[in-house]
A = this chain, B = another copy of it.
Amino acid sequence: MSTFSPLNPHFEARVRDSFARQRLMETIGAFITSVSPGEVEIELPFSEALTQQNRYLHAGVITAIVDTACGYAALSLMPEDSDVLTVEYKVNFVSPAKGERMIARGRVKKPGRTLAVCSGDAFALIDGKEKLVATMLATMMSIRPALPGATSL
């Protein structure tokens, strides 16, 4: 389905290396299940430690994995020396985040020189079936650490 050509031949290693440095992903128990050009998938097993007052996963946790999937989907299409930064996102929550685990999928909707627009979804896996839990529309920014002033918005 993905029709993007990556600028960085090592895009998958780039994404996996950066993900491995996200201490939060380790803390909550999330891991990457797939990386392709413009698309990244992340899984998160359910954990009581991550819940809100009704024992569903907290909206912030769902947001964290969809944001990470969208950010790395964007990074997968960026030049080799880039880093990615979340400019903003919007998330709609459509059903309770319960089930054995969550699957977050992020994809680039429109790549750009500086900004990439991404969409992402989180699904709960309940009795082997995926149920939509949340949907995100996000703006990601390419940061070139080598360029002067580039880390500033």
Contacts and interface: CB of A to CB of B under 8 A. Distances in A.
Chain A interface bracket (under 10, 10 to 19, 20 to 34, 35 or more): 35 or more
A91 B88 contact: yes
Contact of A23 (B48, B85, B86): B48
Contact of A92 (B21, B58, B83, B139): B139
A53 B139 contact: no
B27 A88 contact: no
A149 interface: yes
Contact of A58 (B18, B64, B112): B64
Interface string A110-144: 10111101010000000000001001010101000
The interface residues of chain A, by DSSP majority, are classed as: mixed
A83 B65 CA distance: 25
B89 A91 contact: yes
A86 B118 CA distance: 17
Given A53-B22, A152-B112, A153-B115, A87 B83 contact: no
Interface string A90-102: 1111110000000
Interface of A: 18-19, 21-24, 26-27, 48-54, 58-61, 63-65, 67-68, 83, 85-95, 109-110, 112-115, 117, 119, 132, 135, 137, 139, 141, 149, 152-153
Closest 8 CB pairs of A and B: A60-B64, A90-B90, A112-B153, A24-B58, A94-B110, A21-B53, A88-B92, A137-B137
